[in-house]
Structure 1
Amino acid sequence: MNTFQLKLANEDPLVSSIEPLREMAAYEALWEDYGVTFKKIAELFASRPGSLPSEIVPQDKILSFVKILADLFQQNATKKPGILLNNTFDYPAKLRAAKHPIELLYYLGDLGLIKTRSVAVVGSRKATPEGKRRTAQLVRDLVKDKFTIVSGLAAGIDSEAHRNAIEQGGKTIAVIGTPLDEYYPVENKNLQDEIAKNHLVVSQVPFYRYRHQDYRHNKGFFPERNKTMSALTEATIIVEASDTSGTLYQATAAIQQGRKLFILDSCFENKDITWPIRFEHQAIRVKNYSDIQSALIQDVISTD
Structure 2
Amino acid sequence: MTLFTNNDSLFSNSLSPFEEAIAYELLWTKDKASFKSISELFSSSPKGRPSSFVTQEMIEDFKDTFRKLFFNDKLDYKFNFLINSTIDYPLKLRDAKEPIEALYYSGNLDYIDSKCISIVGTRNPSPEGLVRTRKITKLLVKEDFTIVSGLAQGVDTMAHKTAIENGGRTISVIGTPLNQVYPKENKDLQIFIAKNHLLISQIPFYRYSLQNPKSNRFFFPERNKTMSALSLGTIIIEASETSGTLTQARAALHQGRKLFILNSCFENKNITWPARFEKMGAIRVNDIKDILDAI
- TM class, shorter-chain normalised? over 0.9
Aligned to 2:16: 19
Evaluate the alpha carbon distance shift between residue 16 and residue 60 of structure 1 in structure 2; reply closer, same or farther with a 3 A threshold: closer
> 1:30 aligned to 2:27?
yes
In 1: Cα distance, 2:267 partner to 2:155 partner = 19
TM-score, scaled relative to structure 1: 0.90
Aligned to 2:284: 285
Identity of aligned residues (%): 56
Q: Aligned to 1:99, which of 97, 120, 125? A: 97
| Alpha-carbon distance, 1:67 to partner | 1.9
Q: Aligned to 1:51, which of 48, 53, 62? A: 48
TM-score, scaled relative to structure 2: 0.93
Evaluate the alpha carbon distance shift between residue 92 and residue 84 of structure 1 in structure 2; reply closer, same or farther with a 3 A threshold: same
The one-letter code of the counterpart of 1:104 is A
Matched length: 282
In 2: Cα distance, 1:65 partner to 1:111 partner = 28
Evaluate the alpha carbon distance shift between residue 75 and residue 256 of structure 1 in structure 2; reply closer, same or farther with a 3 A threshold: closer
Select between 208-217 and 60-69 the one with higher mean Cα deviation: 60-69
Aligned to 1:60: 57
RMSD between aligned residues: 1.3
| Alpha-carbon distance, 1:76 to partner | 2.7
| Alpha-carbon distance, 1:74 to partner | 3.9
- Secondary structure at the counterpart of residue 171 of structure 2: strand
Select between 49-58 and 20-29 the one with higher mean Cα deviation: 49-58
| Alpha-carbon distance, 1:293 to partner | 1.1
> 1:70 aligned to 2:45?
no
Alignment map for 1:1-304 (pairs within 5 Å): 16=13, 18-76=15-73, 78-281=76-279, 282-296=281-295
In 1: Cα distance, 2:119 partner to 2:70 partner = 31
Could you tell me which runs of 5 or more consecutive residues in structure 2 were left unpaired when the two chains were aligned. 1-11
Q: Does structure 2 conserve the Cα–Cα contact (< 8 Å) formed by 1:151 and 1:174?
A: yes
| Alpha-carbon distance, 1:249 to partner | 0.1
The one-letter code of the counterpart of 2:241 is D
In 2: Cα distance, 1:24 partner to 1:61 partner = 12
Q: Does structure 1 conserve the Cα–Cα contact (< 8 Å) formed by 2:103 and 2:202?
A: yes
Q: Does structure 2 conserve the Cα–Cα contact (< 8 Å) formed by 1:120 and 1:237?
A: yes
Moved over 3 A (4+): 15-18, 77-80
